[in-house]
Chain A
Amino acid sequence: DGGITQSPKYLFRKEGQNVTLSCEQNLNHDAMYWYRQDPGQGLRLIYYSQIVNDFQKGDIAEGYSVSREKKESFPLTVTSAQKNPTAFYLCASSTQGYSGNTIYFGEGSWLTVV
C-alpha cells in the first residue's frame, strides 16, 4: 500500500545527543514536510522540501536539520541545540501543482528527552 512511513514510533534522547527521525514515502510526491505537535497544541512547521536537494526553513527550524537526497526520503535530525525537543513529530507529503492537492501524514514519532 502507498503511504508514509515514519520510524521509530518512540525514541528517547539523552541530553546533548543528536537523533534522527526517518520518513519514507512511496506516493511519488514531490513535496515533503516536517511538523512538530506539542500536547494539546496545533502543528508547527519545522522544514519543508518541494523538490529533491532543496528545502526551506519553516516557523521553528532552529535546532533541527534535514536533507533531501532522494525523492522518497526526508529525514529530520533533532540536534542538541534544540532545547525542548520532547514532542510528537509528523512527516507529511503532497504533490505539486493542483490547487486541491491534499497533504498526507505519517503515523508520527514520539521523541522524549531523558
Chain B
Amino acid sequence: GDSVTQMEGPVTLSEEAFLTINCTYTATGYPSLFWYVQYPGEGLQLLLKATKADDKGSNKGFEATYRKETTSFHLEKGSVQVSDSAVYFCALRRDGNQFYFGTGTSLTVIP
C-alpha cells in the first residue's frame, strides 16, 4: 500500500546551518506530496506542497522538489533559525482523498 518514509530524528543543528530532511514515498499513480510542521502541543500546519513531478514547493525559506524518478520529496533550508525547531512530517495524498503521513522528524536548532 501507499506509504511515506522519512529520516529518523532527532536532528540537532546550530543556527544558520543547512537542513535536509529526507522523505521517500511508495504510491501507485501520481500522488500529491506535502510537508507539515508541528510545534509543541499544537496541530499540524501546512509548510509546502507539490502536486506533480518536478514541481518545487517553497515557503519561509524551506524548499522541496517532487522527484518521481527517485520517489523522493526531501525538505531543505539553507539557513535554519531557532524558531524552526519543531517536528516535520512528510505526507502524500492519493486518489480517494486519503492522506498518509511519515513518522515525523524532530528538529532542534541551537543558538
Contact = CB atoms under 8 A, between A and B. Distances in A.
B102 A105 contact: no
A82 interface: no
Contact of B46 (A41, A102, A107): A102
Interface residues of B, number: 24
Interface stretch (B19-27, B69-77, B93-101): B93-101
Interface string B81-111: 0000000010101000111011110100000
Contacts of A108: 41-43
Interface in A30-60: 31, 33, 35, 40-43, 48, 50
Contacts of B51: 99-100
Contact of A48 (B34, B44, B98): B98
Contacts of A103: 34, 91, 93, 99
Nearest to B99: A103
A77 to B, nearest CB: 20
Interface in A64-114: 90, 92, 94, 96, 99-108
Contacts of A101: 32, 93, 97
Most central of A43, A48, A101 by chain B CB within 10 Å: A43
B97 A94 contact: yes
Interface residues of A, number: 24
Interface of A: 4, 31, 33, 35, 40-43, 48, 50, 90, 92, 94, 96, 99-108
Nearest to B31: A99
B49 A90 contact: no
Contacts of B14: none
Given A42-B102, A107-B43, A102 B49 contact: yes
Contacts of A31: 97
B93 A99 contact: yes
